[in-house]
Structure 1
């Protein structure tokens, strides 16, 4: 039986993508205007609005009804479904997917990615690899549950401003951070965002990011990995790639790059760079 992989737009999987994948858009609201993330609001347009506006946008989870519609379409087409969704600790989207899946026992399998943005994306890509290897939906979901604990997402933020706007840090901490050019390094651990350290300036921030990756034991290049950036251009990411060349040399012919969209970009702001990978055992 054919397998369909369904994910939400918090995974930042952009078209063109494989026909076996369905991406359900989250909603991003600026003032009175609501947009479908990645559909009628591109990542570039999101950051233009974010930088130009004074108010922080809001994001909305996907409803059970929307998941049910997508699941039903797949099942009626003779497919079984693996749904890979945003961390349950960051959004109610996982709960929505589970509610909808109850209507399709044995046909739909929901996996909490315990991650976000490119960390969620590489789990989607791993699902496709397992599908290509001939595994059925149930077996794919089981393998993803095992392997998702190997995923590491580490990011360097350019500013504390957006964490301040979202109430994650105080105004005084953000002010001092801005004056001292402090760059926080964050990670997703057990489905939640944690601060690993803080560095003075971009160069020290890049060094700290490299150190945090090395602490994990390194990148398993046999499974998907991704680099991403938040903002209007990838100049900061390209600088990081140059500074961290030792991580990739002799391991990768190319580095797959992506962009961080509105769902997560709302909280990290422009100028963030991130690396997502499966760690070595």
Structure 2
């Protein structure tokens, strides 16, 4: 049997994880000196309430190797193979913790994958792993496939407020103030594991149009693969964002999800995102 493990930044809640038959290792979120286990002690909706009212920017800490060791030991005792999918190693040491744990349990049948992303990007990689496992693919082939597949996953988002990018050190005070006055919305995404600002646009409508431009410039979406629409804070107005994208890009069904604390801390409430798989 193949055991699939991911971390809580994949934005897969515990009930959903049970349905998928996977394990989720929580990251920790520190807000005003208090530590919470992501999606165990603190749900995303509660997090955004705390974020808005917090004097300082929350911080997150990676799981310890021991958090993975316990799951690995169980798999080893059952002779199960293990596939681990973590958030980008560029923004967190979770990938490193998962690898250290592998050395500690001294078990070769563990494959650790750096997703090069997080949130709905990571979720798409996990869903692919689950589908292929359920079809009977072995762990070695699954690992090889996912290492290729992850490079086709894309995420584009616009941020509603510049305040949190400024607080997190990703924008200067001058740029944040000027951008706020001009109602600029940065378009963010991932480039080989690094969170980057790709463009900026004035207002929600133009930001959505810019995301469509970036998707079309990058190549064709694979409409046979799942598409995720995500948000931070409240989902108000999410249907308008989704329908605008659908009219041009012609996708059908979508998955939805609220973004957790790791990206939510930097994006702040009101962000909108699309994650999808690029055609080969």
> Bigger CA drift: 110-119 or 219-228?
219-228
Give the direction of change, closer, same or farther, for the CA distance of 1:247–1:74 in structure 2 (3 Å limit). farther
Judge conservation of contact 2:226–2:255 (CA < 8 Å) in 1: no
The aligned residue for residue 131 of structure 1 is 133
RMSD: 1.3
**Correspondence for 2:34:** 33
Is the contact made by 1:4 and 1:74 (CA closer than 8 Å) also made in structure 2?
yes
Equivalent residue number for residue 172 of structure 1 = 174
Answer with 66-75 or 255-264: which moved more: 66-75
- The equivalent residue for 1:189 is 191
Q: CA, structure 1 residues 104+139, in 2 after alignment: closer, same or farther (shift >3 Å)?
A: farther
TM-superposed CA distance for 1:104, in Å, is: 3.8
**Partner in structure 2 of residue 244 of structure 1:** 245
3-state SS, counterpart of residue 14 of structure 2: coil
Partner Cα distance (2:84, 2:258) in 1: 21
Aligned to 2:268: 269
TM-score by length of 1: 0.95
Aligned to 2:3: 4
> How many residues align structurally?
277
How far is 1:248 from its partner?
A: 5.1
Q: CA deviation at 1:14?
A: 1.2
Contact 2:32 2:54 in 1 (8 A): no
SS at match of 1:100: helix
**Corresponding residue for 2:91?**
90
Question: What are the equivalent positions in structure 2 for 1:130-169 lying under 5 Å apart?
Answer: 130-169=132-171
TM-score (norm 2): 0.95
**1:200-239 maps to which residues of 2 (within 5 A)?**
200-231=202-233, 233-239=234-240
Match of 1:60 in 2: 61
Q: Deviations over 1:25-77 (max 9, x none)?
A: 10001122110111110000000100122211110011111111121122223
1:246 Cα deviation from its structure 2 partner: 1.9
SS of the aligned residue for 1:16 comes to helix
Shift of 1:20: 2.3
Q: Which runs of 5+ in 1 are unaligned?
A: none
Unaligned runs of 5+ in 2: none
Contact map agreement 2:231 2:273 (CA 8 A) in 1 = yes
CA–CA distance in 1 between the matches of 2:263 and 2:180?
21
Rounded to whole Å, the distance in 2 between the matches of 1:75 and 1:275 is 37
SS in 2 for 1:212: helix
Instruction: Give the whole-Å Cα distance in 1 for the aligned partners of 2:220 and 2:237.
Output: 22
Hey, what's the Cα distance between the residues in 1 that align with 2:178 and 2:220? 33
